[in-house]
Amino acid sequence: MVNDFPRTLCLLRQEKKISQRKAAGELGVSQALLSHYENGVREPGLAFVVRAADYYGVSADFLLGRTMARDGGAILAEDLTDSSNEKDNVLQGSAAVMLSKKLLVNSTSLLYEQIAKQDRTLVRAVSDYLSLAFYKAYRLLYAMDDESSKKAFAAQQDVFSELCDAEMKKCEARMRRMAAKGHESDPDMSLEHVQKNWPRLAPSLLSLLHGVDEKISPENEKN
């Protein structure tokens, strides 16, 4: 049985704010057996998985930890919303918040424009790296909410940051290996190329790179 099943089963009951006894009765099992399922002591049969999925209004794939989409639907690129193109996409907050968002959205779009025609391995490495960074930032903020369920994620709170760092290092290693090989078809990452081919997005990328470069430069450490 998928390791996420006990955690998800328990989380769904807690979200529904019902007792283990009540849930067990409505699911047609004893409280002791449901407790074993929620604690991973025993594995349920397929019939129970189906009943539990129907009872909590989620897909079996979500219940088994195969997806974080509760309806279990596959995520297709054409189905995703591109918030950067929405006219009513107004982010509440200061001008600094608005600027930061636009810099990241535009820079990410430009980065994918540069690598769009590259080997799938490179695109995967970049995507994994950025996803890990986003996941890490989200988990750090998630932990600030005292009411957030600590069982919502499989990776434990006290180790997720280090696990993300380790996976990001693997992504870095893959990108370094690809860069070391050198191919004529490798993307042109020069700033001149960026400014020439993506004049609208280039200012965001250049501003983001400049800001980070200044932040990590040795000269700033002395001040």
Task: Report pLDDT digits (tens) over 40-87.
Answer: 999 999 999 999 999 999 989 888 887 767 777 655 555 545 555 555
Residue type for 204, please? S
What's the predicted TM-score (pTM) here? 0.68
CB–CB of 3/40 below 8 Å?
A: yes
Residue type for 206, please? L
Task: Please enumerate in sequence order all residues whose Cβ is within 8 A of that of 75, keeping only pairs 6 or more positions apart, or say none.
Answer: 69
pLDDT at 133: 96
pLDDT at 86: 53
CB–CB of 52/20 below 8 Å?
A: no
Which residue's structure tokens are 């696990």?
A: 163
Share of the chain above pLDDT 90, in %: 41
Question: Which of 11-25, 66-80, 146-160 is predicted most confidently?
Answer: 11-25
Which residue's structure tokens are 């200061």?
A: 94
CA torsion through residues 170, 171, 175, 178, sign: positive
pLDDT at 1: 44
Q: Which helix (H) or strand (E) holds 216?
A: helix 202-216
pLDDT at 13: 92
Identify the DSSP state of 29.
Answer: S
Q: Which helix (H) or strand (E) holds 161?
A: helix 160-181
Q: What letters, b where the CB count within 10 A reaches 16 and e where it falls short, cover 101-120?
A: eebebbbbbbbeebbeeeee
Of 94, 84, 113, nearest to 205 (Cα)?
113
15: pLDDT strictly greater than 70: yes
CA 5, CA 82: separation in Å to the nearest integer?
32
Cα dihedral value 96, 161, 82, 126, nearest 10: 110
Q: How many CA atoms lie within 13 A of 215 on its CB side?
A: 6
Question: Which of 74-88, 92-106, 141-155, 167-181 is predicted most confidently?
Answer: 167-181
Can you tell me whether residue 149 is helix, strand or coil? coil
Q: What is the mean pLDDT of the chain?
A: 84
158-215 residue pLDDT tens:
899 999 999 999 999 999 998 888 776 778 888 888 888 998 898 899 889 888 988 8
Which residue's structure tokens are 């399922």?
A: 37
pLDDT band of 219, cuts 50, 70, 90: low
187-200 residue pLDDT tens:
888 888 888 899 88
